[in-house]
């Protein structure tokens, strides 16, 4: 899979441990953006279908949600990890908004998580190129004047819509990694967007199977003229060439100041709940670049 290429199509992995990781961090960033009264815009480059039926064929084929959102749904951490519950609350509330009662049937993709957390003055651009997913995304966002679904390649969208009209905001980049070159492409796109909008927040996801591609991405990002890059990785098994997706990685450029402290509380709690092997690496939270 990765190291060469993989295909992280949202519908097949909805609610997986990687979704919990990326969407919990996404929700934390949007929650921090809401702390100031001025409007912000979120650009979701690879938005997917918007919502996913966890009992449909694509989601049940691997049943990954059972070892992801299924492990934390209506199961507070409590005890020594109780502080993590408050940090996870915006994400859990967004999932609950898509479901009726205690049953977990529907999982929201990133655009619906963002929309749930937006205020009347905030805006969302959600981009998807695959025709069926794009049609589902448009239906999921229809009727909300704050959100716009666009049929456009995600990589192209980052270049086209950065910088936004608003001075504040977030670009969320969550590609399927169908090509091995996507790791290099990610670094190049982030570099180009940052030059155009150096004050924007960027959150980019990458898969972990072996260490080769994620470590090469880190080296590329360190060479960029970017002042603040925070890395956060969550693994459920030790990386191995034949083990499939063993971990989930995020890089946050210009993260909100409290995010590092949030992650240092939240990630160990998630690792204890989601980890499936004693040999899984501990969560990694470090700075690839930090302004002095």
Could you write out the DSSP letters of every residue in 223-279? TSS-S-EEEEEEESS---TTS---EEEEEEES--TTHHHHHHHHHHHHHHHH---TT
Flag whether 274 is in a domain.
Answer: yes
* Phi (first) and psi of residue 202, to 5 degrees: -125, 135
Residues 6 or more apart from 118 whose CB is under 8 A from it?
Answer: 30, 42, 124, 146, 147
Q: Can you give the pLDDT at residue 279?
A: 76
Please indicate, yes or no, if residue 259 is contained in any of the structural domains: yes
> Could you give the CA distance from residue 110 to residue 92 in angstroms, rounded to a whole number?
13
pLDDT tens for each residue of 239-286: 777 768 999 999 999 999 999 999 999 999 999 999 876 778 899 999
Residue 174 known to be catalytic = yes
Give the pLDDT band of residue 2 (cuts 50, 70, 90): very low
Token pair recorded at residue 29:
């960033």
Residue 280 domain flag: yes
Query: Does the pLDDT value for residue 105 go beyond 50?
Result: yes
Which CATH number belongs to the domain containing residue 44 in this structure? Answer: 3.40.50.150
Query: How many domains does the chain fold into?
Result: 1
Give 85-110 as a DSSP string. Answer: HHHHHHHHHHHHHTSSTT---EEE-H
16 belongs to a structural domain: yes
Residue with tokens 């969407």: 23
Residue-wise pLDDT tens digits, 41-67: 999 999 999 999 998 866 566 689 999
Is the bond into 88 cis (omega within 30 degrees of 0)? no
Residues 151 and 82: their CA atoms lie apart, in Å, by 41
Closest CA relative to residue 107, chosen from 8, 229, 23, 219: 23
Which residue range forms the structural domain that includes residue 200?
Answer: 10-289
Q: What average pLDDT does range 183-210 have in this prediction? A: 95
Catalytic residue from among 44, 122, 174, 182: 174
**Is the backbone of residue 287 left (phi > 0), alpha (psi -120 to 50) or beta?**
beta
Task: Specify whether the CB–CB gap between 69 and 104 falls below 8 A.
Answer: yes
User: CA 65 to CA 85: how far, in whole Å?
Assistant: 19
pLDDT at 4: 42
Average pLDDT, the chain: 92
The answer as to whether 187 is a domain residue is: yes
In a 10 Å sphere around its CB, with 0-12 CB exposed, 13-18 middle and 19+ buried, how is residue 101 labelled? exposed
- Is the confidence at residue 1, as pLDDT, over 60? no
Domain assignment present for 3: no
Model confidence pLDDT, tens digit, residues 5-40: 444 456 778 999 999 999 999 999 999 999 999 999
Structure tokens at 96: 């609950």
Residue 279 lies in a domain: yes
- Does residue 3 carry a pLDDT above 80? no
């Amino acid at each position: 899979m990765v190291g060469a290429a993989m295909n992280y199509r949202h519908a097949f992995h909805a609610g997986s441990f990687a979704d919990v990781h990326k969407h919990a961090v996404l929700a934390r960033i949007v929650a921090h953006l809401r702390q100031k009264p001025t409007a912000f815009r979120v650009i979701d480059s690879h938005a997917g279908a918007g919502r996913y039926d966890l009992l449909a064929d694509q989601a049940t084929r691997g049943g990954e949600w059972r070892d992801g959102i299924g492990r934390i749904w209506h199961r507070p951490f409590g005890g020594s990890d109780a502080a993590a519950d408050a940090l996870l609350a915006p994400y859990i509330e967004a999932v609950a908004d898509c479901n009726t009662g205690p049953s977990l049937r529907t999982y929201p993709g990133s655009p619906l998580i963002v929309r749930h957390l937006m205020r009347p003055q905030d805006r969302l651009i959600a981009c998807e190129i695959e025709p069926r997913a794009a049609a589902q995304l448009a239906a999921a966002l229809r009727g909300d004047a704050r959100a716009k679904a666009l049929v456009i390649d995600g990589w192209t969208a980052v270049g086209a819509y950065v910088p936004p009209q608003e001075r504040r905001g977030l670009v969320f980049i969550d590609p399927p990694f169908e090509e091995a070159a996507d790791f290099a492409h990610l670094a190049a796109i982030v570099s180009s967007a940052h030059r155009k909008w150096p004050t924007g927040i960027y959150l980019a996801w990458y898969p972990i199977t072996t260490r080769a591609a994620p470590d090469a991405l880190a080296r590329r990002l360190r060479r960029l003229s970017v002042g603040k890059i925070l890395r956060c990785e969550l693994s459920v098994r030790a990386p191995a060439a034949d083990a499939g997706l063993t971990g989930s990685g995020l890089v946050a450029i210009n993260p909100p100041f409290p995010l590092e402290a949030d992650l240092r509380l939240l990630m160990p709690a998630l690792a204890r709940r989601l980890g499936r092997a004693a040999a899984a690496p501990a969560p990694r939270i470090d700075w690839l670049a930090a302004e002095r």
